Amino acid sequence: MSSRTKEELENLIEETIDIYPEKTKKDRKKHIQVMGVEGDQKCTSMVSNKKTKPGVMTMRGCAYAGSKGVVWGPVKDVINISHGPVGCGQFSWGARRNYVNGTTGIDTFPMQVTSDFQEKDIVFGGDKKLSIIIDELETLFPLSKGIVIQSECPVGLIGDDIEAVAKKKKEEYKKPIIPVRCEGFRGVSQSLGHHLANDSIRDHIYEKDVKGTSIKETSYNVALIGDYNIGGDAWASRKILQDMGLNVIGQSTGDSTINEIANTSKAKLILVHCYRSMNYIARYIEEKYGVPWLEFNFFGPTQIYKSMRKIAERFDNNIKEKTEYLINNVYKEKTDQITDKFKVRLEHKKIMLVVGGLRPRHTIPAFNDLGADVVLAGYEFAHGDDYQRTEEYLKHATLIVDDMTEHEMDKFLKTYKPDMFGSGIKEKYQTQKAGIAFRQMHSWDYSGPYHGVDGYAVFARDIDMTVNGHVWKNITPPWKSCSTETCEGPNCNCANDK
């Protein structure tokens, strides 16, 4: 076991933050805690969802990223306009790999549209330009079911009235034109963008009584939300639910449509995979329509089977019996074969995770299924309730870090020397140059799916390929880059290892 004691972890925290000025040190200590066995500090005392200190290179994204890149971007039958300079729209184009079924330009519109703000637009405003763009899009793509306006920072600073433009064009074209005030400077992180996008779904779909499509009324109708179909994740999750005998009448927002989103309110149960990004709309639908919701986790066999049984408990004996049969006679044999194949290669491997506001706690059990040991879990934009949901997944005292700084990342990589670090694209190349294997855990490093039984096979293969890749044996990390004879003293990279 590669775990450390609570005392060792607390000493590591003090050693890490000691470099900061006193005020920053006091603040950061509230964001780094020891949880799990031996960690008697409770996650309720963890400080989170606070603004990053100025000057710190943060792993976070912005509100625009949360709205366009996560929630609205995957909806396939609407066109997203990135309203502002070209940079944000270009950076967000295709970054999440949200797979869709359909024909581009007919029933799917995964292209990037930007209003490409120039200096004159900042001076004179971009409302007229936005209006012209919507007209052009209607000429080019009349089959789209709606348009979503994603506002970038300058739009909020100059005061463009995107709501007025959207209202006028909605009346003209008789389809949803949805403005989202998701300027990047708003809020703490991309988490506010999720919330704003959820609110726009509420205001422009449910409050406007978009009817959706006609569906067959059964007691087995469920809706899948908070699954963005990265690498086909939602398809793998949907397959399990259908095998259980459930009827998935809508999924959002991966490979989804406006009508499917509207149909969510007709379900008997809403199943939430990414709690952090879409719990807002789930709570709203429960309050307005009386449809209960349930969080589940389809990462790794332990949580897949636990979630399947939890979902089945909400239905009759027919679903319960079918679920038990699936687990014991179909799925378990498959997942056991995968585990047996890869566990011998991954057992006791040390994993560090710093991802979003959900994935560390969702993927920790999947790593444990393969015998790997998660020694540190960090969250980019988690809220207090996310930390409350984390402790049950920790089998030993574990360092939990909120909004990790670049200094902390370097320190923890050097201290733990993990076999793999899973995080976002900004951390990838810095980690690899340090001679440590890296996996992009936001979009699966161009692989997937990772959800469900089918996804577990891909996940296990990718983690093995990453951790046991031969290339890492040929890279010298900074802390091994000088010898005793050439060491330059206390500021040398290798000083703490001597």
Tokens of 422: 């899973």
Token pair 């194949």 is found at 341
Closest alpha carbon to 374 in 345, 353, 343, 403: 353
Q: Under a CB-based contact definition with an 8 Å cutoff, are residues 301 and 369 in contact?
A: yes
| Whether 283 is catalytic | no
| Whether 96 is catalytic | yes
Q: Which residue of the set 83, 96, 238, 362 is catalytic?
A: 96
Distance CA 374, CA 422 (A): 10
Distance CA 196, CA 72 (A): 10
Token pair 């406007």 is found at 208
> Which burial class, exposed, middle or buried, applies to 155 when counting CB atoms under 10 A from its CB (0-12, 13-18, 19+)?
buried
| Whether 389 is catalytic | no
Q: Which residue of the set 4, 181, 194, 276 is catalytic?
A: 194
How long a stretch of residues is the chain? 498
Distance CA 342, CA 365 (A): 15
Q: Which residue of the set 62, 434, 437, 457 is catalytic?
A: 62
Q: Which residue of the set 43, 63, 65, 377 is catalytic?
A: 65
Token pair 């708003």 is found at 186
* Residue 29: how many other CB atoms lie within 10 Å: 15
| Whether 437 is catalytic | no
- Beta-carbon-side half-sphere exposure of residue 322 (alpha carbons within 13 Å): 15
3 state SS of 219: coil
Distance CA 316, CA 325 (A): 15
Residues labelled as active-site residues: 62, 65, 96, 194
